[in-house]
């Protein structure tokens, strides 16, 4: 192998991780996990089900992701688009929750919320 060829091979090997990393860093997707707790409901009890919605902002884009919490209050959005969203969480007998969320590329985050009981609502 000539010296010039060895230098080119070494340079390509050195740059390969950089190219791979830049491609992975721009996947154009994100994920969001979370947990919903409920006021006056013990965490060891089966949790009420909540509807969790990510609506792309501005709303006229039409992108909406919806899921429900499991028996432990956990939810998961595996793959969502990037950008600004309104996160809405609702459950019967509890006050609705809403927040603005920004999801950048390759974001994997967690969002925990405690829903407050509606006045006069019995659990």
Span 92-116, pLDDT tens digits:
999 999 999 999 988 889 999 999 9
Range from 12-16, 69-73, 79-83 that averages highest in pLDDT: 69-73
Calpha distance 17→100 (Å, rounded): 35
Q: What is the pLDDT of residues 45-65, one digit of tens each?
A: 889 999 999 998 876 678 899
| CA-based nearest residue to 38, from 24, 30, 48, 52 | 48
How far out from the chain centre does Cα 73 lie? 15
Q: Is 104 helix (H, G, I), strand (E, B) or coil?
A: coil
Q: Cβ distance 76 to 31 under 8 Å?
A: yes
**Contact in structure between 32 and 111 (CB atoms under 8 Å):** yes
pTM of the model: 0.73
Burial class for 51, CB neighbours closer than 10 Å (0-12, 13-18, 19+): middle
Q: Mean pLDDT highest for which of 15-24, 25-34, 58-67, 111-120? A: 111-120
Question: Phi-psi bin for 34: left (phi > 0), alpha (psi -120 to 50), beta?
Answer: beta
pLDDT at site 11 = 33
Helix residue ranges per DSSP H, the chain? 3-24
Q: Check if the beta carbon of residue 104 is closer than 8 Å to that of residue 75.
A: no
């Amino acid at each position: 192998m000539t010296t010039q060829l060895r230098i080119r091979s070494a340079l390509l090997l050195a740059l390969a991780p950089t190219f791979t990393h830049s491609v992975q860093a721009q996947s154009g997707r994100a994920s969001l996990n979370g947990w919903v707790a409920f006021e006056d409901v013990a965490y060891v009890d089966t949790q009420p089900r909540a509807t969790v919605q990510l609506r792309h902002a501005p709303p006229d884009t039409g992108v909406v992701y919806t899921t429900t919490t499991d028996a432990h209050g956990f939810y998961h959005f595996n793959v969502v688009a990037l950008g600004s969203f309104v996160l809405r969480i609702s459950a019967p007998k509890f006050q609705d929750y809403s927040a603005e969320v920004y999801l950048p590329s390759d974001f994997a985050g967690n969002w925990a919320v405690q829903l407050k009981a509606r006045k006069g609502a019995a659990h």
